[in-house]
Amino acid sequence: MIKQKKQGNLIIISGTTCAGKGTVIEKLLERNNNLSLSISYTSRAMREGDKNGVKYHFISKEEFEKKIKNDELLEYVKYSGNYYGTPKTEIKKILDTGHDVVLEVEVNGAQKIKEMFPETILIFIMAPSMEEVKRRIKARGQETNEQIIKRFQTAYQEINEIPKYNYVVINDEIEKAVEKIEAILLSEKCRVDRIEEIAVENQEEIIHEFLMNKEFDNSPLYKNKLN
């Protein structure tokens, strides 16, 4: 009776540093066949372990700026001298097939996309505490104290943006965090404004009429009215 819109949902996942966004998204993709990852473009150089077309499409700075000029990106940001951006056409193609698309986007980019596509689902992921964030950063052993301080400053700025999101998920345990996001996506599918139409088939109408007639024919109230 209910026909849902064929269009897939656009889901943006943001979060503070060391919140585990990448791991959560990886688990979501493993468990949900209807969910696709949008692969961003970047002008940064490939690092050891990088594979082109897996997490990023690696292109030159000139190619990236051409995409900006041609309005081929939903959003983009320049960080540490490198461009990062979300493709527009590729995402639309996936959504048109009915598949959901998940993006890992920073706070400012998320708001830009939300302005263009108001139905976008915004989910913010946080670590259990800033103390845990500190522990995770130090466990990496790759950053100086100055870099750690800068990360913390950015994290506090991002936390202030949480009211602009639809949902917040605390990532204390990966499996539980993934389950919470799956519950969010399921509830979004059930929203009334995502229903395209409600229709009753001819056969269902016949059955309904038959049952209603039978019920009234045998009811005392209906018999009294006839008398």
Q: Is residue 143 part of a domain?
A: yes
Q: Is residue 64 part of a domain?
A: no
- Read off the pLDDT of residues 45-86 as tens digits, 9 standing for 90 and up: 998 888 998 889 999 999 999 999 999 999 998 887 899 999
Q: Is residue 107 part of a domain?
A: yes
Q: Is residue 52 part of a domain?
A: no
What is the arithmetic mean of pLDDT over 159-179? 94
Q: In which domain, by residue range, is 219 found?
A: 2-38+100-226
Q: Is residue 93 part of a domain?
A: no
Residue 120's CATH number: 3.40.50.300
Residue 2 banded pLDDT, cuts 50, 70, 90: low
> What does pTM read for this prediction?
0.78
- Read off the pLDDT of residues 190-216 as tens digits, 9 standing for 90 and up: 888 777 655 555 565 566 566 666 555
Q: 3 pairs with which residues across the strands?
A: 197
- Read off the pLDDT of residues 137-152 as tens digits, 9 standing for 90 and up: 777 777 788 888 888 8
Q: Is residue 88 part of a domain?
A: no
Q: Is residue 183 part of a domain?
A: yes
Q: Is residue 182 part of a domain?
A: yes
* Domains contained in the chain, number: 1
Q: Which pair of structure tokens corresponds to residue 103?
A: 């993006």
Q: Do 125 and 24 contact (CB within 8 A), yes or no?
A: yes
